[in-house]
Structure 1
Amino acid sequence: MTADIDFTAFFDATPSPYLVLDRDLVIRYVNLACLRTAGRTEEDLVGKYFFDALPENPGIHDEAERNLKASLLRLLDTGEPETVVLERYDLPRPDQPDGFEERWWSVIHTPLSGPDGKVKWIIQQMEDVTAFVHSPRTRQCSMEQAAGMSAELYARARELDRLNQELRQAHAREQQVAVTLQEAMLFVPDLDRHSNIAVRYLPATASLNVCGDWYDVVDLPPDRYAVAVGDVVGHGLSAAAVMGMLRSALSAVIRAIPSPAQALEVLGLYARSVDGAMAATAVKVLIDTRSKLIIYSNAGHLPPVLLHSDGTCELLDKATDPPLGAREHHVPRPQAGVGYAPGDTLVLYTDGLIERRDEDIDTGIERLSTALAQDQALSPDLLADALLARLDVADGAPDDIALVIIRL
């Protein structure tokens, strides 16, 4: 889950000027520091085309406007952040309708993508460096010296841009390594034997593509198989490492102790010895195809949903216990069973699928149940994709998502 942050209050509290543009370069938000710096009101700026609301000084040149516009258009084309260093862009003076005040700026443009992956918003961060340009040292310099200083600053800025580009490339390589690692850690050999099971994994949109959510499928011949999902607190490589240890441990335990409750007991004891595993959650189900019975136990996780062929949904919430390692002393975990009919569908998931900010978790579960009933006739694979789309998380969510759909 993400922290409950009021981002408007955050941007209004920061001393740096920020504004947000849409794809048409229309100003959609300005923070208080930006209003103070520009000497304008919110009504003067919001809803206006940037270069109409803040026109360039026609008495100087149009190079600044051209450079800023080129930076914004490159960002829209590439989706990569842009930096404009030491640019003179005079501001209109409110007390003089046709007057401008000389200003020098360092500007950073950062893209925010929409659900379609295209740039939807542009965050413009501006730093007023006029005081630096007009510092006593600068005023004492000859024009040639001042020009030389500007050239030096520009050269340094270009070097910084080059280093930033190298960092972005290194980050991209790290992401690819992370994706490969995640795929390896989530490899499920027994899944190939189950055309009735579909799985989906989506990392948190703000993460490195590796997270703490996981799933597993284990065959227990001759006529049973076990399925699990789990969630480790946090994101990134450390959470993924903990996830890998817990998933492997539970996968091994269930082969020796085919009781979901006892398997989670052992996993809870193991979690106490793993740094970062405390408060991890997991749910384990054992499906007996001969007796048409689902046996399950839950360690602090969201309840699986059993979709019946008549469109009704049943929550598997009768054997819920605290998360792994939450108790100081060992206590046996509960276990429950429920029958199913051929054609029913069992859904296991993690919180990123249904949780929304400022919304009760029961509302999210109800939305999940409604979406399942609407598409119950689909195959597990098609149902998984339809479910992600109906819940508006097909392109990812603020938190990780692991999803397992089983046609019983």
Structure 2
Amino acid sequence: MRDPRIDYEAAFQALPGMVALLSPDLVFADANEDFLRLAGRTREQLLGRYIFDVFPENPNDPAAAGSREVEASLQRVVATGERDSMALLRYDIEDADRPGHWEEHFWSPVNSPVLDPDGRVVLIVHRVEEVTELIRARGGTGTDSSRARVLEAELYTRSRELQEINERLRRAHAREREVALALQEAMLPAPVPVGHHRAAVRYRPAVGTLNVCGDWYDMVELPGDRIAVAVGDVVGHGLEAAGVMGQLRSALSAAARVADGPAQALEALELYARHVAGAESTTVVKTYIDWGIHTLTYSSAGHPPPALLDPDGTVTFLDRATDPPLGARPEHVPRPEASTAFAEGATLVLYSDGLIERRGEDIDVGLARLAGSLVRHGRAGPEALADALLADLLPPASTNDDTALVIIRL
């Protein structure tokens, strides 16, 4: 089915509220029906005329400044090519049928540019919110009361300005979030082959917030039938967190290749992190898997403990080598390390706190929830298990934190 043809001229005329189109020379090019009605002018009295010839300043009021303020706003739009929102202003209009008779109006204008392909302003959309009746409903007459009514209306104006600011911030945050996620995706590695062992990785960003790009995972092949696996979480969000994440992940990946074990790798990362702005309070867990001797060796810097699911359905949390996050101690201190045996066919799960933690809830509740889900879905392969854990443990609508997840069948 073909898209319906849109009559943009009819749509413009039907727009609610006062809307006019001005040339960069501030000459009326068009105006909708509400603008004509509320301004008390005919189309012939507007089109092709300079805006301040049609709406001059009230000569009877020495304090009048409406036209000067509007002109300054319009000129800013022409000069910058950016939207300009004005505060509430009083702008008296001469009655077209009664020359010399001026009517008090209170307007809140917003001026937006229309740009050509080269970025030049070719039109200005001059939208005016008419709030005269709203202010008159407060009562009072005369200059002093008019000033008082303007002050009363400031709350209304400030509310509109805050809405505008919030919308701009929302758009800016959305752009930053998009860039940060792209950077995050580029820096997080694809899962490396681990011989005949199966693995799955997942990264889920927070939904509707900027709390993204602080979590990461890493898998490094080591000599022999061994790999080193890590999951970390940078405190922060957006582009800054993504940048810090990339530096720490790369440093730990390099350290894992030369360190004797996970504790030594984290000690090297700790020393490096002291010179990376934004790296303080990062949590990370590092686990070495040795299939030759069926042993897991691990060390944690303030991170939630990995989960080990045995073939018989028993879930054990590896929490015997936990130390504070990076940068928590003023002096360098050796980090703890622990080892545990694993059975063929067991499953190792590393994750970030977004998978288990919920506001106002004890972490043990989240760990129990994870253990229950592992028991229910533990027979599934790593890919299916990863999807099942995310479906079980992440809220269906949104999450306030991003989540990294690594699953390895041992």
Give the TM bin, normalised by the shorter chain. Answer: 0.5 to 0.7
**Which residue of structure 1 aligns with residue 298 of structure 2?**
296
**Which residue of structure 2 aligns with residue 400 of structure 1?**
402
Alignment equivalent of 1:225, drawn from 223, 227, 241? 227
Distance (whole Å) between structure 2 residues aligned to residue 253 and residue 187 of structure 1: 16
Q: 1:375 to 1:160 in 2, by over 3 A?
A: closer
Give the number of equivalent residue pairs: 280
**Which residue of structure 2 aligns with residue 56 of structure 1?**
none
CA displacement at 1:226 relative to structure 2: 0.5
Distance (whole Å) between structure 1 residues aligned to residue 384 and residue 324 of structure 2: 33
Alignment equivalent of 1:245, drawn from 244, 247, 251? 247
1:305-320 correspondence runs (5 A)? 305-320=307-322
Distance (whole Å) between structure 2 residues aligned to residue 186 and residue 322 of structure 1: 25
Kept in 2: contact 1:294–1:337 (CA 8 A): yes
Distance (whole Å) between structure 2 residues aligned to residue 311 and residue 270 of structure 1: 39
**Which residue of structure 2 aligns with residue 349 of structure 1?**
351
Alignment equivalent of 1:391, drawn from 383, 390, 393? 393
Q: Deviations over 1:36-90 (max 9, x none)?
A: xxxxxxxxxxxxxxxxxxxxxxxxxxxxxxxxxxxxxxxxxxxxxxxxxx9xxxx
Q: Deviations over 1:110-152 (max 9, x none)?
A: xxxxxxxxxxxxxxxxxxx7896228999669xxxxxxxxxxx
CA displacement at 1:286 relative to structure 2: 0.4
SS of 1:332's partner is coil
Distance (whole Å) between structure 2 residues aligned to residue 384 and residue 189 of structure 1: 14
CA displacement at 1:207 relative to structure 2: 2.9
SS of 2:370's partner is helix
SS of 1:234's partner is coil
Structure 2: state its 5+ residue gaps.
1-87, 89-105, 109-130, 144-158
Letter in 2 for 1:183: E
**Which residue of structure 2 aligns with residue 183 of structure 1?**
185
Q: 1:304 to 1:130 in 2, by over 3 A?
A: farther
**Which residue of structure 2 aligns with residue 207 of structure 1?**
209
Kept in 2: contact 1:191–1:217 (CA 8 A): no
Distance (whole Å) between structure 2 residues aligned to residue 194 and residue 400 of structure 1: 30
Q: 1:275 to 1:173 in 2, by over 3 A?
A: closer
Distance (whole Å) between structure 1 residues aligned to residue 260 and residue 204 of structure 2: 29
Kept in 2: contact 1:299–1:323 (CA 8 A): yes
Q: 1:198 to 1:351 in 2, by over 3 A?
A: same
**Which residue of structure 2 aligns with residue 11 of structure 1?**
none
Q: Report % sequence identity.
A: 59
Kept in 1: contact 2:202–2:386 (CA 8 A): yes
Q: 1:269 to 1:394 in 2, by over 3 A?
A: farther
Greater mean deviation of Cα atoms: 278-287 or 237-246: 237-246
Distance (whole Å) between structure 2 residues aligned to residue 355 and residue 389 of structure 1: 15
Distance (whole Å) between structure 1 residues aligned to residue 258 and residue 296 of structure 2: 19
Q: 1:394 to 1:242 in 2, by over 3 A?
A: farther
Q: Deviations over 1:245-293 (max 9, x none)?
A: 1111100111111410000011111111111111111100000111111
Kept in 2: contact 1:218–1:226 (CA 8 A): yes
Distance (whole Å) between structure 2 residues aligned to residue 403 and residue 247 of structure 1: 15
Kept in 1: contact 2:378–2:385 (CA 8 A): yes
**Which residue of structure 1 aligns with residue 285 of structure 2?**
283
Distance (whole Å) between structure 2 residues aligned to residue 163 and residue 275 of structure 1: 29
Asked if 1:260 is matched to 2:262, the reply is: yes
Distance (whole Å) between structure 2 residues aligned to residue 234 and residue 166 of structure 1: 22
Distance (whole Å) between structure 1 residues aligned to residue 301 and residue 165 of structure 2: 46
Kept in 1: contact 2:299–2:336 (CA 8 A): yes
Letter in 2 for 1:375: H
**Which residue of structure 2 aligns with residue 113 of structure 1?**
none
SS of 2:244's partner is helix
Q: With structure 2 as the length reference, what TM-score do the two structures score?
A: 0.59
Kept in 2: contact 1:215–1:227 (CA 8 A): yes
Q: 1:163 to 1:378 in 2, by over 3 A?
A: same
Distance (whole Å) between structure 2 residues aligned to residue 258 and residue 202 of structure 1: 32
Distance (whole Å) between structure 2 residues aligned to residue 167 and residue 336 of structure 1: 47
RMSD over aligned Cα atoms: 4.0
Letter in 2 for 1:298: S
Letter in 1 for 2:298: Y
CA displacement at 1:371 relative to structure 2: 0.8
Kept in 2: contact 1:179–1:209 (CA 8 A): no
1:5-404 correspondence runs (5 A)? 133-134=135-136, 172-188=174-190, 190=192, 196-208=198-210, 210-393=212-395, 396-404=398-406
Distance (whole Å) between structure 1 residues aligned to residue 382 and residue 346 of structure 2: 11
Greater mean deviation of Cα atoms: 367-376 or 186-195: 186-195
Distance (whole Å) between structure 2 residues aligned to residue 168 and residue 214 of structure 1: 25
Distance (whole Å) between structure 2 residues aligned to residue 194 and residue 207 of structure 1: 39
Structure 1: state its 5+ residue gaps.
1-85, 87-103, 107-128, 142-156
Distance (whole Å) between structure 2 residues aligned to residue 257 and residue 364 of structure 1: 32
Distance (whole Å) between structure 1 residues aligned to residue 140 and residue 311 of structure 2: 78
Q: 1:163 to 1:355 in 2, by over 3 A?
A: closer
Larger Rg: 2
CA displacement at 1:176 relative to structure 2: 2.9
Q: 1:398 to 1:194 in 2, by over 3 A?
A: farther
Distance (whole Å) between structure 2 residues aligned to residue 275 and residue 309 of structure 1: 43
